[in-house]
Amino acid sequence: MARILVSLGGNALGTDFDELVETVGVIAGPIVGLIADGHDVVICHGNGPQVGMIKTSIDLGKAGAQDHRVMPLSECVAMSQAYIGYHLQNAIENQLMKHGLTKQVTTVTARAVVDRNDPLFSRPTKPIGAFFSEEQAQEYIHAGKTFVEDSGRGWREVVASPIPLRIVERQACRDLVEAGHVVISGGGGGIPVVVEDGWTQAIDAVIDKDRTSILLAADTDCDDLVILTGVEKVAIDYNTPRQRDIDEMSIAQAQAWMDEGQFPEGSMGPKIAAAIDFVRSGPGRKTLITSLDKLVEGLRGETGTWVVA
């Protein structure tokens, strides 16, 4: 049996609490299906809409207060790890009980080390929060925020997304997986920190969880990577009359399409980059990219996009 890292997209999880609970209830079934088949499962998840919702809610709630200070992104990432992990734990444990399985589900609040001098700090690309019209976005842009149009779906705020170098809690994650736990970690790409002269401190950013998924997969010796997102298949010429869904692509073809600009940096780009890196990391490794509700069908080869050597 395989050890599989399941990487859940933040957009696919939904933004508000009710939608999140409903979505994790849907995905918990297929995840427990993998466990019932004897696979070990490690879970990493995104947090783009959720961290934006947290930050906006807190900032708006404090607006006008005498000691008003905007909430740092690192704090919001930590909050999102806790509440998304909590709902995933509930949903997965409920499905385990339904299948008569006994297994501990554990969320590890994880920090990801980045380089303070990473040039990506000066080039924000990571979308967070809700979608806005162009008119609404322009108001925020005039207020000093950075917004971009996101694949025809609307305008979103973008923030710095540095490269994660390592997960601080990697040994704890590995120990828990070896002990038989279902581990949820690296949520939202991890809480960004810098370590200088042995001293750890937070830094404002949101790390792409697909890059952190590769680190977590390596740290826990995973055999396969499944990236679950909001679409059933990866497409080229997305959202145009020429759109074409892809069943399978080699890492060479994936890289060529990346170079053509087919996969935007703030959208599908990091997922394809992560898929390529994982396939290259060991013989026989493959990556599946598909939607939340197609996990089982994708692993059977019935749908989704496979990235192979």
Number of other residues whose CB lies within 10 A of the CB of residue 241: 5
Quick one: what percent of the chain has pLDDT higher than 90? 56
Question: What is the model's pLDDT at position 60?
Answer: 64
Per-residue model confidence as pLDDT tens digits over 175-196: 999 999 999 999 999 999 999 9
Reading the block at residue 117, the tokens are: 């001098």
Is residue 305 a contact partner of residue 234, using CB atoms and an 8 Å limit? yes
Structural domain boundaries in the chain: 3-112+165-308
- Is the confidence at residue 73, as pLDDT, over 80? yes
Residue range 92-102: mean pLDDT, rounded: 96
Q: Where are the alpha helices (DSSP H) in the chain?
A: 10-13, 17-36, 48-62, 73-98, 134-142, 170-178, 209-219, 251-260, 269-280, 295-299
Tens-digit pLDDT profile for residues 104-162: 999 999 999 999 999 999 998 887 776 788 988 888 788 778 889 887 888 888 889 99
To the question of domain 3-112+165-308 being in CATH 3.40.1160.10, the answer is yes
**Which residue numbers are catalytic?**
10-11, 126, 209, 271
Alpha carbon 181 to chain centroid distance?
20
Read off the pLDDT of each residue in 261-271 and give the average, rounded to a whole number: 86
pLDDT of 69 reads 58
CA distance 128 to 159: 7
Segment 43-65, tens digit of pLDDT: 999 887 788 788 777 766 655 55
pLDDT in tens, 13-29: 776 778 888 989 988 99
HSE, CB side, 13 Å, CA atoms: give it for residue 229: 22
> Over the chain, what is the mean pLDDT?
89
State the burial class of residue 141 (Cβ atoms within 10 Å of its Cβ: 0-12, 13-18, 19+): middle
Global pTM reads 0.83
